[in-house]
Amino acid sequence: MKAIIIGAGIGGLSAAIALRNAGLEVVIYEQASAIKEVGAGLSLWPNATKALEKLGLGPALRQISVPQADGGIHDWRGSIITAASTDFIEREFGAPVIIAHRAELLAMLTDAADGIPMHIAARLKHYQQDGKQVTAVFENGQRDTADLLIGSDGIKSVVRNQMLGSTTPPRYAGYTAWRAIANFDYPADATYWGESWGQGARFGLAPVSKGRVYWFAVLNAPENKTKPAEGHKAYLLKHFGNWHHPITDLINATDESVILHNDIYDIEPLTHWTDGHVALLGDAAHAMTPNLGQGACQAMEDAVVLGSAVQATKNIESALELYQAKRIERANGIVTQSRRIGQVGQLSNPLVCWLRDNLFRSLPEGIRNRQIAAVVGHEV
């Protein structure tokens, strides 16, 4: 059996590896002229690190990651709101939480996909199917036919738009975000890791391998309007310059040219991800806001389940239906939860923020742990 994968992002590459491991012939098509990721960090929670283990990538993952430091949610002055122990997470869920450099993670997946033919500069135009096979038609005139096609073509998925018969425009979340990785000296026992909440503003920071720190900053803003004339660094120092240590030093230590800036979007949860011999995967199926750090983690879960479903039944339509049945409710739930936690984190009224911080501080540990377990304790 043969599978066509559209898109060589984290989702597409994970799916390609899972289907190759399931014994299929796999071909990847990517619209860009090179396979690359941005220079930012990515949190991989136990649900994802276990999924990567199942794809046979445990040893490779350990080479690009360092054990995470304890962290939590702080207020903007640095006082703790809720603590998160990485030891607890590893003990409780049987796998560590990792912050990987995106480019290194993509290189790891590309290496693992070695041997799988990959066509670059090939943008899918549409697909056609006849009940037995599916043909991908590309803008450059290429065509390819297979038993199944996986649309892992991201938040603006061409496959999804054709499948649903209408466009599903990304929904703006109401906030805009900056991300970067900085070379930064920090004490091994630093207690500031995690995310800090202000009023309509958040800042997160986490150690990455090789003495680097990944940070992100989030501000409420109208869509597509944040274009600071003074440059991103000066703009961020204006908004976060009085936040707790080491936020100012970290922004100052970052080269302006490596700061990435994006408005934040998700898609409305979908009612189906399959159409005959075609299925959606990753952001194409469930693009979510990054508040739970789960978008890529969910794509990895998708890949493992897809591989097992195809192995369990060689009838493609049944396999894709099984894949959807096992995945859609969970992924949609996380889309909704991510959006909600973002709304809470981005509250801006000072009194409401004070109440929020104190409510989270007083949340019993058992309830907090159950909430964490529901997201990161899942095993595919």
Ligand X SMILES: Cc1cc2nc3c(=O)[nH]c(=O)nc-3n(C[C@H](O)[C@H](O)[C@H](O)COP(=O)(O)OP(=O)(O)OC[C@H]3O[C@@H](n4cnc5c(N)ncnc54)[C@H](O)[C@@H]3O)c2cc1C
Stretches 2-10, 161-169, 220-228, 247-255: which one binds ligand X (CB under 6 A)? 2-10
139 vs 365, beta carbon nearer ligand X? 139
Separation of CA 321 from chain center: 24
Stretches 82-90, 194-202, 292-300, 371-379: which one binds ligand X (CB under 6 A)? 292-300
77 vs 125, beta carbon nearer ligand X? 125
Binding ligand X by CB under 6 A: which of 24, 201, 278, 299? 299
Residue 170: is the preceding peptide bond cis (ω within 30°)? no
List beta partners, residue 207: 213
| 229-266 core/surface letters (b: 16 or more CB in 10 A; e: else) | eeebbebbbebbeebbebbeebbeebeeeebebebbbb
Binding status of residue 106 toward ligand X by CB under 6 A:
no
Name the token pair of 211: 């003495």
Name the token pair of 101: 């450099």
Binding status of residue 51 toward ligand X by CB under 6 A:
no
In the region spanning residues 140 to 169, those forming contacts with ligand X, defined by CB under 6 A, are 152-154, 158
14 vs 21, beta carbon nearer ligand X? 14
What CA–CA distance (Å, rounded) separates 262 from 289?
A: 12
Separation of CA 213 from chain center: 18
What CA–CA distance (Å, rounded) separates 100 from 120?
A: 25
Stretches 164-172, 248-256, 288-296, 309-317: which one binds ligand X (CB under 6 A)? 288-296
DSSP state of 269: P
What backbone torsions phi and psi does residue 92 show, to the nearest 5 degrees? -70, -40
122 vs 347, beta carbon nearer ligand X? 122
User: Beta strands 80-84 and 71-75: pairing type?
Assistant: antiparallel
Stretches 166-174, 180-188, 286-294, 303-311: which one binds ligand X (CB under 6 A)? 286-294
Using CA atoms of 336, 339, 341, 342 in order, give the dihedral in degrees to the nearest 10. Answer: 180
What backbone torsions phi and psi does residue 174 show, to the nearest 5 degrees? 100, 5
Decide if 303 contacts 281 (C-beta within 8 A): yes
152 vs 308, beta carbon nearer ligand X? 152
73 vs 189, beta carbon nearer ligand X? 73
Binding ligand X by CB under 6 A: which of 5, 17, 30, 278? 30
User: Can you state the angle between helices 46-54 and 295-312, rounded to 10 degrees?
Assistant: 40
Residue 246: is the preceding peptide bond cis (ω within 30°)? yes
Q: How many CB atoms lie within 10 A of CB 70?
A: 16
Binding status of residue 219 toward ligand X by CB under 6 A:
no
Stretches 112-120, 228-236, 295-303, 346-354: which one binds ligand X (CB under 6 A)? 295-303
Binding status of residue 195 toward ligand X by CB under 6 A:
no
Binding ligand X by CB under 6 A: which of 200, 246, 276, 290? 290
102 vs 187, beta carbon nearer ligand X? 102
Binding status of residue 96 toward ligand X by CB under 6 A:
no
Stretches 1-9, 63-71, 77-85, 246-254: which one binds ligand X (CB under 6 A)? 1-9
Nearest approach in angstroms of CB 358 to ligand X is 27
Binding status of residue 17 toward ligand X by CB under 6 A:
no
Site residues for ligand X per CB under 6 A:
6-12, 29-32, 42-43, 123-124, 152-154, 158, 177, 179, 262, 282-283, 290, 293-297, 299
